[in-house]
Amino acid sequence: MGAPSRRRARTAGAIASLTTLLTTTITAVVTVTALGTTSAHAAVEEPPRPPFYETPATLPSANGAVIRSEKMTFLLDPLDATSLVRNAQRVLYKSTNRAGKAIAVSGTVLVPHAPWIGLGSRPVIGYSPGTQGMADRCAPSRQFSEGIEYEGVGIESLLLRGYAVAMPDYEGLGTVGIHTYMDRVSQGRATLDVVRAAQRLPDTGLSSTSPVGLMGYSQGGGAAAAAVELASTYAPDLRVKGAVVGAVPADLDRVATTLDGGLYSSFAFFALRGLSASYDVDLTPYLNANGRATSDRVETECVFDLLNNAFVKSSTLSYNGQPMSTLMDAEPFRSIVAAQRIGTIKPTVPVLVTHSALDDVIPYAVGKQMARSWCGKGANVRLHTNVAPLHVGGMVPHVAEALPFFEARFAGLPQISNCWLI
pLDDT at residue 271 tops 50: yes
Q: For residue 90, which amino acid is it?
A: R
- Cα 157 off chain centre by: 17
What percent of the chain stands above pLDDT 90? 75
Closest Cα partner for 115 from 165, 167, 164? 164
Q: Is 94 exposed, middle or buried (0-12, 13-18, 19+ CB in 10 A)?
A: buried
Q: How many helices (H) and strands (E) does the chain have?
A: 13, 9
Q: Work out the burial of residue 272: count CB atoms within 10 Å of its CB; fewer than 13 is exposed, 13-18 middle, 19 or more buried.
A: buried
Name the average pLDDT for the chain: 88
Residue 81: band (very low, low, confident or very high) from pLDDT cuts 50, 70, 90: low
Read off φ and ψ for residue 303, nearest 5 degrees: -60, -25
For a pLDDT cut of 70, what percent of the chain falls above it?
Answer: 88
What ranges in 260-332 are assigned the alpha helix state H? Answer: 265-278, 289-298, 324-328
Q: Are 338 and 329 in contact (CB under 8 A)?
A: no
- Predicted pLDDT at 26: 36
Most confident of 22-26, 111-115, 136-140: 136-140
User: To 10 degrees, the CA torsion angle through 337, 340, 342, 347?
Assistant: 160
- The half-sphere exposure of 360 on its side-chain side, counting CA atoms within 13 A, is 10
Question: Residue range 74-82: average pLDDT?
Answer: 58
Q: List, for residues 193-244, the tens digit of each pLDDT value.
A: 999 999 999 989 999 999 999 999 999 999 999 999 999 999 999 999 999 9
- Identify the three-state secondary structure at position 88: strand
Could you tell me the domains of the chain?
A: 3-252+338-421 (3.40.50.1820)
How far apart (Å, rounded) are the C-alpha atoms in residues 207 and 375?
A: 32
With cut-offs at 50, 70 and 90, classify the pLDDT of residue 43.
Answer: low
**Residues in CB range of 271: below 8 A, 6 or more apart:** 181, 182, 252, 256
Is the pLDDT at 25 greater than 70? The verdict is no
Q: What pLDDT score was predicted for residue 80?
A: 53
What is residue 311's predicted lDDT score, i.e. its pLDDT?
95
Q: Encode pLDDT of 140-197 as tens digits.
A: 999 888 877 888 888 988 998 999 999 999 999 999 999 999 999 999 999 999 999 9
- pLDDT average, residue stretch 98-107: 98
What's the pLDDT at 46? 74
- C-alpha–C-alpha distance, residues 227 and 216, integer Å: 10
Res 38 pLDDT > 50: no
